Amino acid sequence: MTTYKEAGVDIEAADKAVENIKGFVKKTFNSNVLTNLGSFGACYKFPKNDYESPILVSSADGVGTKLKIAFLSKNHKTIGQCLINHCVNDILVMGAKPLFFLDYYATGKLENDVFEEVVSGLSKACVENSCALIGGETAEMPGFYGEDEYDLCGTIIGVVDEKNLLSKRKVENEDILIGLPSTGLHTNGYSLARKVLLEKYDINEYIPSIDSKLSESLLAVHKSYLPVMEEILTEDWLVGLSHITGGGLIGNTKRIIDKNQTLDIDWNKWEWPSIFKLIQDSGNVPTDDMQNSFNLGIGMVMIVKKSHIEDAKKYLQSKNQEYHIIGKVV
């Protein structure tokens, strides 16, 4: 006789793991959350009276092979934050603010300590972004993943009033590009970074040129731009936002301009953070490839009407937000 537990799935351990994270998850709840963790479906009361013509905005994503850095360094505290903030930024560029999030965590053997670290990060970022972590899936799949490995992804749902959809605003020639600094690689380019860096350095090695351990730099939390941007999402001088992920600054920002427009970017307007210089030097990576693979220190691009550039600068200064005027639309 063979039991499910002997096959590699421990239901009792999984139940205990879920019980252990309820405290983290409940910190993210608000009055609109109508179900507890563990329900078949998660229920959220939509605040319809807060909007004239509400549009739901959704996005699903993961953190790519940044997970491999967490596995190697045995540090899982920031991965959850990176996932939430990445997804928040993806709906932010539509003008939306988050309502709730559903996560998916899958592993070959559920390790409670690791699972709790990941969920604590999800919870922390949800609280910071006023987003309820209302449910998800935890899957134990023996034989499917490598030892001590897991996958993490999720779906975010947000809302914006139809009149404030950023995608409806028209980007015109001579509109100005303002770059907001990133905190590092965020969640893109890790396959290239791992290939060139881990052939040369140990994951926990201190590297003078970046003034940190390699793992610390590579696991830096993906920045959420919601706290900086939420007050000006309805300003008509803000005509576009671009989240700089895979594809780099040009590849992502071209997605929000017309096909007959292009970007005039002055790459000398900001300095690459040291981690990107280390990647390029370690692998002799061509500059074009760096520009197409990484954010290179710019995590979000604002497109602002030329006539209102001073308004944008004044606002960012009031938020103590560093910025760079990096070019224009032509």
pLDDT tens sequence across 30-48: 999 999 988 899 999 999 8
Between helix 112-128 and helix 79-92 the angle, nearest 10°, is: 30
154-187 pLDDT per residue, tens: 999 999 999 999 999 999 999 999 999 999 999 9
Predicted confidence at residue 6, as pLDDT, reads 79
pLDDT of residue 262 exceeding 80: yes
61-79 pLDDT per residue, tens: 999 999 999 999 999 999 9
pLDDT of residue 108 exceeding 90: yes
Predicted confidence at residue 16, as pLDDT, reads 82
Q: CATH 3.30.1330.10 spans which residues of the chain?
A: 11-167
Indicate the pLDDT class of residue 2, thresholds 50, 70 and 90.
confident
Q: What mean pLDDT do residues 2-29 have? A: 86
Please give the distance of CA 157 from its chain centroid, rounded to a whole number. 14
Average pLDDT, the chain: 95
pLDDT of residue 1 exceeding 80: no
Q: What mean pLDDT do residues 102-110 have? A: 96
Report yes or no: 217 and 77 within 8 Å, Cβ to Cβ: no
User: Which residues, 6+ apart, have CB-to-CB distance to 1 below 8 Å?
Assistant: none
pLDDT of residue 259 exceeding 90: yes
List phi, psi (to 5°) of 221.
-70, 130
Predicted confidence at residue 14, as pLDDT, reads 80
299-309 pLDDT per residue, tens: 999 999 999 99
For the 11-167 domain, the top CATH level (class) is: alpha beta
Cα distances from 148 to residues 108, 142, 144, in angstroms, run: 8, 11, 11
Residue labelled with tokens 């998660």: 42
Predicted confidence at residue 18, as pLDDT, reads 82
Alpha-carbon gap, residue 143 to 120, rounded angstroms: 26
Predicted confidence at residue 11, as pLDDT, reads 83
Whole-model pTM over 0.85: yes
Predicted confidence at residue 221, as pLDDT, reads 98
147-160 pLDDT per residue, tens: 999 999 999 999 99
Predicted confidence at residue 126, as pLDDT, reads 98
Predicted confidence at residue 326, as pLDDT, reads 98
Q: What mean pLDDT do residues 79-94 have? A: 98
Percent of the chain past pLDDT 90, that is, above it, reads 91
Percent of the chain past pLDDT 70, that is, above it, reads 100
For the 169-329 domain, the top CATH level (class) is: alpha beta
Q: CATH 3.90.650.10 spans which residues of the chain?
A: 169-329
185-233 pLDDT per residue, tens: 999 999 999 999 999 999 999 999 999 999 999 999 999 999 999 999 9
